[in-house]
Structure 1
Amino acid sequence: MTDSGAGEVVASAPGSRLPEGWGRATLRELCESVVKVHPGELGKETFRYVDIGSIASGELVVSTAKEIPVQGAPSRARQLIQVGDTVFSTVRPYLKKIAWIPEFLDGEIASTGFCVLRPGEALEPRYLFHLVTSNGFVARVVEKQRGASYPAVREVDIFEEEVVVPPLSEQRRIVAKLDEQLARIEDGEAALVEARRQLELFEVMLLAKATKANPEASSWDCFAIGEMANVSSGATPLKAMPEYYRHGTVPWVTSSMLNDAYVDSADKFITDLALSETAVKEYLPGTILMAMYGEGKTRGKCAVLGIRATTNQACAGIELKPAFESSRAWVLAFLEALYEENREMASGGVQPNLSLGLIKKIRVPLPPVVRQKEILTELAERRSEAAAMREVIKDASAQAKSLRGALLHAAFTGVLVPQDPADEPADTLVDRIRTQRQAAAVKPVRKRAPRKTTSKPASSGQEELSL
């Protein structure tokens, strides 16, 4: 299951006109309360824990649920969940960390960082799930978030949201149609993901075939990067010195920008004062940069500078010596082909990193310049074909998202499935639930019984006086 898609307009917005038989109610009126428990009350030694990290952004499924000993239960592990619940992360709601609880997580524990939505009798569970994952609903919740460094909403912000409620029978028809059509879209999206993966493998094979060992390469010269270039790294000016950053005009490139093969702009800048007073070094256009560490797939990525720029310490600058400058494109292609091997060379625990020493030891086979150009020209043609295919996959993915949004729009405006006049109107059901809840909330006032009084027996002296 993936994100609901762009371009979606959802009829659950307050004030929109409703189809015949539909009604409106808040989620508080439509959902049941969820029991807060300590995992120790479950009567077992371990439990599966669904925290916010268990759901990948926009994927709408619980991808991991760690099994945790009861004695090591986190303080936020307090919400007892059951199959059919929908969990909605109250932290950074724009990330859409929302998921349906499947059967294997029935009776397990979720973090208090979720708002757990348990549908009452007026809601089909899957209808509720599709509704709250729609872009329109999420956008309204995001408007309520508070905080800059840790933006979040409260449970009450979600429960106060008013949503559209079709008749229960129609909800079931909507869910059946949505699940059927969305499954087809997801199959198509899975095929696109696989096509993208195969394309990446194809490019790796192209690079390897063009630059790595083959019978022809046995006659090529081979040089270490340290022999071919001056290798150094950048630095980060002291953040406590605002004069190093305020109104800066000197491009400062970080490793996150090396995911593209060519760097011709920067999104961060430092001042001339920082350049003169710190260990930051300015590199000329044509310098090859390699990410020595960074998030995700960044480590080992290479790019060529197209501008004069400085870098942080996570980037190695490879400045080819005059004798090797004509082989710049070849060296870049070879380092790209070594991407996986370079990543494996990295050392360290929490954040493995490459070192300047390791980079200097990388050996590059160097064919004659004419042969380099022939190989690189053929490589460029094949990579151009791969890039065109990547655009086709990108367009198909966008179309799948648009189709998903159109389906949800149709579902929540009453045009996905036909209405049936025989269905009990949603307003009738919702009003009945409201009445039942109001009655349950009114506690009968117990009349206090009159206090019984008992007269004390008269003393002997009093008896004598009465006589």
Structure 2
Amino acid sequence: MVASNSGRTAGSDLLGQRYLAPESWEVASLGDVALVLDAYREPVNNKERQERMSGKEESELFPYYGATGQVGYIDDFKLDGKYVLLGEDGAPFLEPGKSKAYLVEGKIWVNNHAHVLKPKIFPEFFCYYLNSVDYSTVVTGTTRLKLNQRAMRRIAIAVPPLNEQRRIVAKIEELFSELDKGVESLKTARAQLKTYRQSLLKAAFEGRLTEQWRRDNADKLETADQLLERIQEEREARYQQKLEEWKAAVKEWETGGKLGTKPRKPYRPKLDVGDAANRSGSLPGGWANARIIDIAFVGTGVTPLKKRQGYYEGGKIPWVTSGAVNDLYVQEPSGWVTETALEETNLRLYPRGTLLVAMYGEGKTRGKASELAIEATTNQALAAVVTEGLAASVKPYLKWFLVYNYESIRQSSSGGVQPNLNLGIVEKTEFPLCSLDEQEQIVNQIESGVSRLSQLEEELEASFRRAELLRQSILKRAFEGKLVPQDPDDEPASVLLERIRQEQADAVGTKRGKRNAGATS
């Protein structure tokens, strides 16, 4: 090891040092201050553990540990005592603030994803220190980082006097306890914001947000039934126009020798005028339950076969999958397809403003409903809801309804643990319809409320980040010797390390003596 005027650093053969230790401390390798008991590890798969536990009482079972914590139980134990377990693989080595090591005590069983360490210094200090090590120079691998035993033994550990280790741990736990109380309050506030957001949206679609406004404007508002009738008359007129254009295009295609793809016949909207009046239920006066198919075309897309040449390479047409619908708008495509793919498959190019509903295969953040901010095609896991003309005015209101009600819509589907939606369910999904003027009022109130909530959520997230930075700062001060005062009356760290070395040498000598005695007996 090399001493400096400002502190003590590890020798060049040690790894992972992040802090400059005080002169009164020593720097040693992990292998110098802890026994490595990896020989006691044994992986047992879940099926075998379940079979072994069958018919046994809870008191007959023991915790089974892995890389980052307990992963189950088993009917026996391999070790009994107080240990620090440090991830070998599967631990968040490069994520500051996340635990890589943890304390266990009692009768335990450990699998092969965690190293088993028996520290010769204060265990809690040792564990805190391991969670602050810079593992970027210690671990190997790319997709799944691994801490092999050889590198682990070379991790630099700053060692204060034993009494100072205890004082440091006591101070860390005191400060962390206060910090944890603050974090719990932040979590409570975040949960309350989520609840309030749901309450806001629920009130919106029950007509409670605009109750007074509706009374003040009662004589000016058309009913939902009248609005639906206007929308469907307009849709039928548009269809007839498109039908005539299609007939002319087909005639031209036939006259031209039927070259190229035959023009696609326009989709005819499903009309059900007047049915909304029979579905008013307990909604406010003038409202009625409409179905998405009453005002919109609902389509989907496909995943072109990758083995077919010319569908993807060089493509410039945006293609969106269900994993992309994790925000209110889809700004970027999931991939690109070619004009050939658009012509030869059931892909359809949807315009900006199309609403997307995930039917299955959502992303990790649980995509639900979103809106295309770009012109794009989709895969078959998305329902595309297209509104035109007068119905397009309903879109902002319908979008918020889908965002709020996605989970309940999904519950109406079938398919086991994670039920899937389908186009039929999306088409027949009912939503409470009111006049366009009232829809505008509702959307304005929702967006205003959600904007305020989003701002509060951002402030909360900033507070979470500050709390984590403060936690890291506490550890930094602790391992730089600045968290508690040094006491000159403490037994020096050098004496502690010498005692540990002697104990380990004595233990090795005892084992050799026993082996030699056995060999000569």
**Residues 19 and 476, structure 2, Cα contact 8 Å, conserved in 1:** no
Alpha-carbon deviation of 1:409? 0.8
1:23 corresponds to: 26
**Residues 299 and 353, structure 1, Cα contact 8 Å, conserved in 2:** no
Alpha-carbon deviation of 1:110? 2.3
Alpha-carbon deviation of 1:255? 2.4
**Residues 158 and 479, structure 2, Cα contact 8 Å, conserved in 1:** yes
SS at match of 2:325: helix
Q: Which consecutive unaligned segments of at least 5 residues does structure 2 have?
A: 1-8, 209-281
Q: Which amino acid aligns with 2:389?
A: P
**Residues 322 and 367, structure 2, Cα contact 8 Å, conserved in 1:** no
* TM-score of the two chains, using structure 2 as the length reference: 0.71
In structure 2, what is the Cα distance between the partners aligned to 1:301 and 1:169? 55
SS at match of 2:284: helix
Out of 480, 483, 486, the residue aligned to residue 413 of structure 1 is 480
**Residues 262 and 303, structure 1, Cα contact 8 Å, conserved in 2:** yes
1:210 corresponds to: 204
SS at match of 2:204: helix
**Residues 228 and 324, structure 1, Cα contact 8 Å, conserved in 2:** yes
SS at match of 2:431: strand
1:362 corresponds to: 429
Deviations 1:182-213 (A, max 9, x none): 11111111211111111011111111111136
Q: 1:101 to 1:14 in 2, by over 3 A?
A: closer
SS at match of 2:484: coil
1:161 corresponds to: 155
> How many pairs does the alignment contain?
417
Q: 1:145 to 1:198 in 2, by over 3 A?
A: same
Alpha-carbon deviation of 1:124? 1.3
Alpha-carbon deviation of 1:267? 5.1
2:134 corresponds to: 137
Q: Which amino acid aligns with 1:24?
A: V
**Residues 299 and 343, structure 1, Cα contact 8 Å, conserved in 2:** no
1:434 aligns with 2:501: yes
Q: 1:159 to 1:264 in 2, by over 3 A?
A: same
**Residues 115 and 158, structure 1, Cα contact 8 Å, conserved in 2:** no
Q: 1:448 to 1:237 in 2, by over 3 A?
A: closer
1:86 corresponds to: 85
1:386 corresponds to: 453
Alpha-carbon deviation of 1:99? 4.8
Q: 1:232 to 1:109 in 2, by over 3 A?
A: farther
Q: Which amino acid aligns with 2:90?
A: V
1:220 aligns with 2:307: no
In structure 2, what is the Cα distance between the partners aligned to 1:126 and 1:181? 15
Q: Which amino acid aligns with 1:66?
A: G
Q: 1:233 to 1:175 in 2, by over 3 A?
A: same
SS at match of 1:282: coil
Out of 399, 410, 423, the residue aligned to residue 490 of structure 2 is 423
**Residues 90 and 155, structure 1, Cα contact 8 Å, conserved in 2:** no
In structure 2, what is the Cα distance between the partners aligned to 1:304 and 1:448? 78
1:66 corresponds to: 72
1:146 aligns with 2:141: yes
Alignment of 1:33-432 (within 5 A): 33-34=36-37, 36=40, 46-52=61-67, 55=68, 62=69, 65-68=71-74, 80=79, 82-91=81-90, 93-94=93-94, 96=98, 98-103=100-105, 106-120=106-120, 123-134=121-132, 136-141=133-138, 144-148=139-143, 150-212=144-206, 217-239=284-306, 244-266=311-333, 268-294=335-361, 301-432=368-499
1:462 corresponds to: none
Q: Identity over aligned residues, as a percent?
A: 33
Q: Which amino acid aligns with 1:168?
A: L
Alpha-carbon deviation of 1:243? 5.6
In structure 2, what is the Cα distance between the partners aligned to 1:79 and 1:243? 59
Q: 1:186 to 1:275 in 2, by over 3 A?
A: farther
Alpha-carbon deviation of 1:298? 5.1
SS at match of 1:107: strand
Q: Which amino acid aligns with 2:117?
A: L
SS at match of 1:390: helix
Q: Which amino acid aligns with 2:398?
A: V
Alpha-carbon deviation of 1:241? 5.9
Alpha-carbon deviation of 1:45? 5.6
Deviates more, 1:428-437 or 1:79-88: 79-88
In structure 2, what is the Cα distance between the partners aligned to 1:448 and 1:288? 79
Higher relative contact order (CA 8 A, sep 6+): 1
* TM-score of the two chains, using structure 1 as the length reference: 0.79
Alpha-carbon deviation of 1:287? 0.6
Q: CA RMSD in A?
A: 3.4
